[in-house]
Chain A
């Protein structure tokens, strides 16, 4: 079976090679390749997406995520410019008679308020108009750190939520939704390893420590063939490599947490490391509280990020990176609840020659949670844990075939080990037998090949194919479901599957295509199509996903999710009143198959018959995105607007007609602005407006044993909308700048979240008036059968913060 897989991989490769190889070989003789790495001169960090521009030919290229570039040109003498936004351009005269390697270090521009301009060359290589890729938003850590923080925490996911096509189910909800997809349809990669729960503190903060993050890239459409496994988006987060020139310490002291990061060379210019940690500490004040309940409360999170890289020589660099984070909650020794992610990534970059770059990645990723209730005095104990573990090997190659084609190819083997739940119970001194749901094992293999092809100066294409194959493998159990009326739990029998036997086997061809046509130097049209397959699913039927939600593999009953998306866009860069602007608009239409929904009242945790409670249906999402960004200058920022719809159709729900998903928002408007008043003060603001999410409201009431139960007589799902959401945040950064030459640099950031204290509804709920309990013996309990509607706001008030950031 695996052989079959390998065979189809090889076939695929040859079929692809056939299409473009012959025509290219003939043209190769009189050409030479310029290649190398582009790095930051101050710390040796690879610059991602830096530009190489050849004056004479008006041709350019960009560096990859490891800073590597390769450009094949007719042999000759050239003036080559190396450039990166915010950095001083380096110009070299290159005599390119044979292959040549040039490694370049670019120096950051010295900060002179308002003087930074975008050069003509930079415009030439600008991704917005030039790149074939669409549906992409990049945020560097500098931009992210300017966005007004919540409780002083600079946050990657919160920043992502200000981009077009991205929204959230509500304040404090874990994860994010991209173009009408659910949160589990985003592949979140931290140095190539997937992160299964991106949230700290139930969803208020993300797990990424900003001190260790270098670059964040979100791809919403036209997803390249090297990525797969989720149908809506890819969030690619790259960690810093660590300063390889000198030691550097960064940190911050905030209301919620403190951060500390140290980086520096181990062997100068060759080997460096970064170690970054963060911990919240409000819990340290609990013991001082006069509230007895709070005294014993445990509530904190921490994370540690570490990375080492070693440049063995010009051709070989190895990286080892790791992340470990945990959230801990509890009361004394009686109750504990914790969860966390861990990832380890090993990578080896190898340059076979000026035209062939490879990266081999091996990673381990895990997510687990544990719940613990214990009382030694009464002999009670309840322990519950669940884990998901991943082991993967992923070779990837980039072949800069010639001046017209860049081929990327590779594959991935991904092994899953799921422990849905393991419980042990002791009650009143009597110990019960441990009860576990059997482990589940799966293998997800894929191969891909993709070509970036320049057809003419104006027209370029990226086309590729990914083939993915998924096996759900024994030992385990298989649920045999019987058909019944749609919408109720299906009767089932369970069969045991031996080790190595296949429970389910799915294969999918996933074509990817995007095209760019440049109308002129300032504007282009792009179109893309991608098919994505997703084999693992986060089962969650709560408004906001909880840390207890369990990832489940596809099985004989759960089919892989398939997403098809077409998108078109217009991209335009322009200059207005001597400022540079970047504009883009995209429309998308997405069809999603095998979307999971749940029967009413489904029990998703510790349920051996879980699959019997699942429903499968279709999803569709479509929308329009507008994005205008002012890139530089004292005042910069962006406006993002999305008009969209996200719907489901599931047999057994809503009389099988389309209904909006629980995160569907018609309008999303985000404004982000930064203003640098002078060298000491800078200000930022963001404003968020979004339509209310749908909710299911009752029409009627009935009484059962004294309880008032709401009832919707039409049985329609999501028939109402809660009021819209809007919020303004402000922040100010003060840089005392006492002495330019002093090593210690400190800045203050003051933030106000939800400036006008709007009580934004997270949801509207319906309930029976709660009974009142008094101490008057004659009138202890008063009962009511009156009903009321309740608006729940997560952060219904103004939240100020102050943070002191330092570096030395």
Chain B
């Protein structure tokens, strides 16, 4: 919904040249540090990395404290195959698997993290893989207030829901420009079934706003190298990323009330006050690159 509303809001902002945003100083309450999990495991990546840190005061703009000495294990549930993880001595808090992750669509994986007397678990399902068909460059006249120039289109086709795979095809689209992942906040693009929400465009080519999503409002320059990553993710990961998108782009007249982004990591002891934040997900990854001519 946010994405759809962006345009009218932009319009309104341009009409009323009166609205303004200003960076301000503000003092925030101190909060307790919690275990934060960053685990997005793509089978295509072979060996996997999971990063564990501690949450820290919001305005503390330095590297996070690593969570060291945790015990991690990952189980492929249908056959009980265990992947073990060990912490890197070079970068504390980074845990690497010794072997490549393998799985079939609909396989469930369970992650266990033992740390500081607590055990946390999270489950994720490996979805089927959506594939980028092609990236194409083209010249565009000015539209929607963008500068004229070279822009890119991403083509991919959604897989139709079938009796053997009834779930929506959720995805997360990321891209990098000249090796830097472009974290332009408005561009966090999570979608489903070729569009933004499940079911609306099942089995269709990715809809125009998705195809157009690997652009900013400035054209690409000759020599730019763009790498696009299409992650096929499960429903929980989709929800987590959608909430993250909402919270990170939350501004203006139609902002939603700020809320914590809920992950899927649960303390085995349900009554424990100690909770972990972040998310664990297994996914499939399709990549494509283009050099602007």
B248 pairs with A709, CB closer than 8 A: yes
Q: Which residues of chain A are near B201, meaning CB under 8 Å?
A: 425, 427, 432
B253 pairs with A787, CB closer than 8 A: no
Which of B61, B64, B251 sits near A787, CB closer than 8 Å?
A: B61
One digit per residue, 1 when the CB lies within 8 angstroms of any chain B CB and 0 when it does not, for chain A 200-222 equals 01111000000000000000000
Query: Among the interface residues B4, B8, B40, which one has the most CB atoms of the partner chain A within 10 A?
Result: B8
Q: Which are the 3 A-B pairs with shortest beta-carbon distances?
A: A699-B31, A293-B145, A713-B31
- The yes or no answer to B106 lying at the interface (CB within 8 A) is no
- The yes or no answer to A790 lying at the interface (CB within 8 A) is yes
Query: Among the interface residues A603, A705, A780, which one has the most CB atoms of the partner chain B within 10 A?
Result: A705
- The yes or no answer to B259 lying at the interface (CB within 8 A) is yes
Q: Which residues of chain A are near B24, meaning CB under 8 Å?
A: 764, 789-791
B8 pairs with A789, CB closer than 8 A: no
- The yes or no answer to B82 lying at the interface (CB within 8 A) is no
Q: Which residues of chain B are near A601, meaning CB under 8 Å?
A: 239, 242-243, 246, 259, 261-262
* A425-B207, A544-B254, A703-B53 as given contacts; A780 in contact with B180, CB under 8 Å: yes
- The yes or no answer to B25 lying at the interface (CB within 8 A) is yes
Which of B21, B143, B188, B278 sits near A702, CB closer than 8 Å?
A: B278
- The yes or no answer to B203 lying at the interface (CB within 8 A) is yes
A425 pairs with B200, CB closer than 8 A: yes
B19 pairs with A790, CB closer than 8 A: no
Give the shortest distance, in Å, between A561 (CB) and chain B (any CB). Answer: 20
| CB proximity to A under 8 Å, residues B250-284 | 250-262, 277-279
Q: Which residues of chain A are near B69, meaning CB under 8 Å?
A: none
Q: Which residues of chain A are near B64, meaning CB under 8 Å?
A: 702-703
- The yes or no answer to B90 lying at the interface (CB within 8 A) is no
B259 pairs with A696, CB closer than 8 A: yes
Q: Which residues of chain A are near B257, meaning CB under 8 Å?
A: 541, 543, 662, 695-696, 717-718
- The yes or no answer to A65 lying at the interface (CB within 8 A) is no
- The yes or no answer to B98 lying at the interface (CB within 8 A) is no
Give the shortest distance, in Å, between A703 (CB) and chain B (any CB). Answer: 6
A335 pairs with B248, CB closer than 8 A: no
* A704-B244, A787-B59, A789-B26 as given contacts; A202 in contact with B262, CB under 8 Å: no
Which of B34, B142, B181, B242 sits near A700, CB closer than 8 Å?
A: B34
B204 pairs with A425, CB closer than 8 A: yes
User: Which of B108-116, B121-129, B217-225 binds A?
Assistant: B217-225
Q: Which residues of chain A are near B61, meaning CB under 8 Å?
A: 785-787
Name which residue of chain A comes closest to B184, CB basis: A771
Q: Which residues of chain B are near A797, meaning CB under 8 Å?
A: 18, 20
Which of A172, A702, A783, A786 sits near B55, CB closer than 8 Å?
A: A702
Query: Among the interface residues A170, A429, A604, A701, which one has the most CB atoms of the partner chain B within 10 A?
Result: A701
Name which residue of chain B comes closest to A426, CB basis: B204
Q: Which residues of chain B are near A701, meaning CB under 8 Å?
A: 55-58, 60
Give the shortest distance, in Å, between A486 (CB) and chain B (any CB). Answer: 13
Which of B21, B31, B38, B197 sits near A790, CB closer than 8 Å?
A: B21
Question: In the assembly, what is the distance between CA of A435 and CA of B14, in Å?
Answer: 33
- The yes or no answer to B182 lying at the interface (CB within 8 A) is yes
B183 pairs with A714, CB closer than 8 A: no
Q: A293-B143, A699-B58, A789-B25 are in contact. List 13 more A-B contacts (CB 8 A).
A: A173-B253, A202-B8, A428-B204, A603-B197, A700-B33, A700-B34, A702-B36, A712-B260, A763-B255, A790-B23, A792-B251, A792-B255, A793-B21
Question: In the assembly, what is the distance between CA of A433 and CA of B223, in Å?
Answer: 41
- The yes or no answer to A715 lying at the interface (CB within 8 A) is yes
A702 pairs with B53, CB closer than 8 A: yes
A425 pairs with B143, CB closer than 8 A: no
Question: In the assembly, what is the distance between CA of A648 and CA of B144, in Å?
Answer: 41
Name which residue of chain B comes closest to A382, CB basis: B207
Question: In the assembly, what is the distance between CA of A558 and CA of B203, in Å?
Answer: 34
Can you give 7 contacting A-B residue pairs, CB < 8 Å? A696-B257, A700-B57, A703-B53, A707-B248, A710-B247, A768-B185, A799-B18
- The yes or no answer to B234 lying at the interface (CB within 8 A) is no
- The yes or no answer to A74 lying at the interface (CB within 8 A) is no
* A544-B254, A785-B61 as given contacts; A777 in contact with B223, CB under 8 Å: yes
* A696-B259, A710-B258, A786-B61 as given contacts; A600 in contact with B183, CB under 8 Å: no
A201 pairs with B12, CB closer than 8 A: yes
B53 pairs with A380, CB closer than 8 A: no
Name which residue of chain A comes closest to B262, CB basis: A600
A427 pairs with B206, CB closer than 8 A: yes
- The yes or no answer to A430 lying at the interface (CB within 8 A) is yes
Question: In the assembly, what is the distance between CA of A603 and CA of B239, in Å?
Answer: 10
B5 pairs with A548, CB closer than 8 A: yes
Q: Which residues of chain A are near B60, meaning CB under 8 Å?
A: 701
One digit per residue, 1 when the CB lies within 8 angstroms of any chain A CB and 0 when it does not, for chain B 191-218 equals 0001101011111111111010000101
